[in-house]
Chains A and B, each alone.
Chain A
Amino acid sequence: MIKHGFLVRRYIVTVLLAVLILATPCYAKEIKVNYRLKWLFNTSVAGDLYADEQGYFKEAGLMVNIKEGSPEKNAINELELGYANFGVASADQVIRALDKGAKIYVIAQLFQVNPMQWIYRTDQPEIKTLQDLRGRKIGVTFGGNDETIMNTLFAKAGITKNDVIITGVRFDFTPFLKRKVDVWPVYRNSQGVILENKLAREGEAVYFFNPADFGVNFVANSVITSETMLKKKPEIVEKFLGALLKGWEAAMNPENKKIALEIVKKLDKGNNDEIRRHQLIATRDLIKPFSALKIGTIKANAWKQTEHIMLKEKLIKKSVNIETRLIQVK
């Protein structure tokens, strides 16, 4: 009896040890990484969520904590303070930070076309040239990058502030819906889709005014990391980026549309299925405008133009030599 009890205990201990031995390496291998997004969980971050949900990060030996962004949360601050290892920031944020001595690098450019565009109703004349902006009631977010972009367009067209009516805007669309503002700034793939849908239900159609069509390529969201991370842990950077871009490629593949939408739906409670479907299509056009393009490609010329615009607008004091901060990880 005693011998039987001893054997049972020995069996249990052996099984527990085996489980422990088998389980330990798989957790020990996974390196914890914090990734701070720029905006809320919605279709704009489909690729980030896809990489996580489909286990691409895990396959790369990483345990990635994807943190939702907001206007008040800044990935660059978090990189410096050590709360995040990777983050998403817009080009103007990156350039401003470099101007103030931040030690960061851009390792991938997610949006090839800036989603910051302007929406206006089709019952108004189409903006075919920049001169067509004259006399319009245009909304800008004072202090936001849309203000910088619009100022650049005005400068390019020789338009002064007296030629247009500028109104400061926020997240509330009411002034646009009430026609107090004609041309309203939106993120083409998120708010743009929502507004387009809302107006379509009222029988109104819209146009989008894209500054890139008029030669202003102001870079949007890109993946960044700290100098320390890049120099001391390049293998983690490579693994992270590999898994992330694999996620983005998969999420933007029309064949994976259903899976991508299901993944986004779990976290984006604010929109319905139809909106999310349209948002995904709009996001695809901005992230992968043509099929041959590899997602994450850094367009150095667009970055240089962004820096030039910011210098001209006196948003930075000196050149930051942005090209030295762009690292296209293979």
Chain B
Amino acid sequence: MLFKRIYQFLIVYTISILFLLMIKMVLSLSDYVIPGVPLIIETAGQVFKTYFFDVMNTLSITVLGQFMSIIMAFTVGIAGRKSSWIGSFIKVTAYNIQAYPIVALAPIIFILLGDGFISRLLIASMICYFPLLLSVLGIMATPVEDVEHFYIVTGQMRWQLEVKIRAFENLSKLTTVISGSATLAMAGTIVAEFIAANAGIGYSIRIALYQSDLAKILIALFVIGIIISMYQGVLETIGEQIKTKWSVSNQGEVI
């Protein structure tokens, strides 16, 4: 899973670079507009190490922001799974708030909280929180009647069991959503850094943009792509392992 993602990214990246080089060649553009291969390699030599640490800095915020989002989404999702008035209220509120473009709030966050760690974390978690919440709400509010019926009629159903059944039955979906939300969290962090932060790869991209240095931007995109692919691959692998272990332990109980 991990290597598959990296290979996929490398293929897409290479095709994109080839496409840019083709445009450069056809339109006879200078290295200022689209850098040639030697300049890209030279720039990589100069900035790769710096950008790697910048991406790791961004990733640390991403992971933390995503973790916060997952906790929040599951807490609210579990609370809102019921068809009671509070459940309906949570669902309606979540659907309405998620329709608002969170990025538009970023300048206000930066004015109030400054351009440090907290602002980046807040924006990253807000951007990936709502899509996560909607998926978790959808999963948690949908009964798995075949399984749940047994526990309900035997009087053994508790909320913890209900959550567990629904999570287990939709584990693939949850893994995909969590893995996908990593991209959102990363995008959120980069946008936050791009707008106002003083650290991270988004900030470095902004500096490169000031200098109209596409070679630097291409290197930044490469490092981001590789690292986010690895992170998503790791998340998917963890999801697979949890699923396998859970299946085995459940089988054990049944036997």
- Provide the residues of chain A in CB contact with B210, threshold 8 Å: 71, 141, 143-144
- Provide the residues of chain A in CB contact with B20, threshold 8 Å: none
Closest approach, in angstroms, between the C-beta of A303 and any C-beta of chain B?
18
Tell me the bound Cα distance from A97 to B213 in angstroms.
Answer: 10
Tell me the bound Cα distance from A76 to B33 in angstroms.
Answer: 8
**Does chain B have a CB within 8 A of A77?**
yes
B-facing mask of A76-89, CB < 8 A → 1, else 0? 11001110000000
B211 pairs with A172, CB closer than 8 A: no
- Provide the residues of chain B in CB contact with A81, threshold 8 Å: 27, 29, 33
Tell me the bound Cα distance from A174 to B198 in angstroms.
Answer: 15
Tell me the bound Cα distance from A10 to B110 in angstroms.
Answer: 71
- Provide the residues of chain A in CB contact with B208, threshold 8 Å: 143
Q: Which candidate, A99-107, A230-238, A275-283, is the interface stretch facing chain B? A: A99-107
B32 pairs with A142, CB closer than 8 A: no
**Does chain A have a CB within 8 A of B233?**
no
- Provide the residues of chain A in CB contact with B196, threshold 8 Å: 170, 172
B39 pairs with A80, CB closer than 8 A: no
Cβ 8 A contact of A74, one of B31, B35, B111, B212: B212
Closest approach, in angstroms, between the C-beta of B74 and any C-beta of chain A?
35
A96 pairs with B211, CB closer than 8 A: yes
Cβ 8 A contact of B212, one of A82, A97, A101, A170: A97
- Provide the residues of chain B in CB contact with A254, threshold 8 Å: none
B207 pairs with A102, CB closer than 8 A: no
**Does chain B have a CB within 8 A of A72?**
yes
**Does chain B have a CB within 8 A of A93?**
yes
Tell me the bound Cα distance from A82 to B208 in angstroms.
Answer: 23
B212 pairs with A96, CB closer than 8 A: yes
B-facing mask of A160-195, CB < 8 A → 1, else 0? 000000001010101000000000000000000000
A77 pairs with B33, CB closer than 8 A: yes
A97 pairs with B29, CB closer than 8 A: no
A101-B30 contact given A168-B198, A172-B110, CB 8 Å threshold = yes
Chain A contact residues, majority secondary structure: loop
Q: How many interface residues does chain B have, given as a range?
A: 20 to 34
Identify the closest chain A residue to B207 (Cβ): A143
A-facing mask of B58-95, CB < 8 A → 1, else 0? 00000000000000000000000000000000000000
B30 pairs with A97, CB closer than 8 A: yes
A-facing mask of B30-52, CB < 8 A → 1, else 0? 11110100010000000000000
Tell me the bound Cα distance from A200 to B193 in angstroms.
Answer: 32
- Provide the residues of chain A in CB contact with B111, threshold 8 Å: 172, 174
- Provide the residues of chain A in CB contact with B203, threshold 8 Å: 142
Tell me the bound Cα distance from A315 to B238 in angstroms.
Answer: 45
A143 pairs with B32, CB closer than 8 A: no
Tell me the bound Cα distance from A295 to B31 in angstroms.
Answer: 32
**Does chain A have a CB within 8 A of B147?**
no
- Provide the residues of chain A in CB contact with B29, threshold 8 Å: 80-81
Identify the closest chain A residue to B215 (Cβ): A100
**Does chain A have a CB within 8 A of B239?**
no
**Does chain A have a CB within 8 A of B206?**
yes
Cβ 8 A contact of B30, one of A72, A100, A170, A315: A100
- Provide the residues of chain A in CB contact with B27, threshold 8 Å: 80-82
Query: Which of A82, A141, A143, A168 lies at the interface centre, i.e. has the most chain B CB atoms within 10 A of its CB?
Result: A143
- Provide the residues of chain B in CB contact with A315, threshold 8 Å: 211
**Does chain A have a CB within 8 A of B180?**
no
Identify the closest chain A residue to B42 (Cβ): A317
Tell me the bound Cα distance from A88 to B3 in angstroms.
Answer: 47
- Provide the residues of chain B in CB contact with A74, threshold 8 Å: 212
Identify the closest chain B residue to A141 (Cβ): B210
Query: Which of B27, B196, B208 lies at the interface centre, i.e. has the most chain A CB atoms within 10 A of its CB?
Result: B196
Cβ 8 A contact of B39, one of A76, A82, A100, A170: A100
Cβ 8 A contact of A77, one of B35, B39, B207, B212: B212
**Does chain A have a CB within 8 A of B209?**
yes
- Provide the residues of chain A in CB contact with B35, threshold 8 Å: 100
Identify the closest chain B residue to A77 (Cβ): B33
Tell me the bound Cα distance from A101 to B38 in angstroms.
Answer: 14
Closest approach, in angstroms, between the C-beta of A73 and any C-beta of chain B?
10
B-facing mask of A221-248, CB < 8 A → 1, else 0? 0000000000000000000000000000
In chain B, residues 211-248, which have Cβ atoms closer than 8 Å to a Cβ of chain A? 211-212
Query: Which of A100, A101, A141, A170 lies at the interface centre, i.e. has the most chain B CB atoms within 10 A of its CB?
Result: A100
A102 pairs with B107, CB closer than 8 A: no
Identify the A interface with B (CB < 8 A): 71-72, 74, 76-77, 80-82, 93, 96-97, 99-103, 141-144, 168, 170, 172, 174, 315
The 4 tightest CB contacts between A and B, nearest first, are A143-B207, A100-B31, A100-B32, A143-B210
Task: Supply 5 further A-B pairs (C-beta < 8 A) apart from A80-B29, A99-B32.
Answer: A81-B27, A97-B212, A100-B35, A143-B206, A174-B111
Identify the B interface with A (CB < 8 A): 27, 29-33, 35, 39, 107, 110-111, 115, 195-196, 198, 203, 206-212
A-B contact pairs, 26 of them (CB 8 A): A71-B209, A71-B210, A76-B32, A76-B33, A80-B30, A80-B32, A82-B27, A93-B212, A96-B32, A97-B30, A97-B212, A100-B31, A101-B31, A102-B30, A102-B32, A102-B33, A103-B30, A141-B210, A142-B203, A142-B207, A143-B208, A143-B211, A168-B198, A170-B115, A172-B196, A315-B211
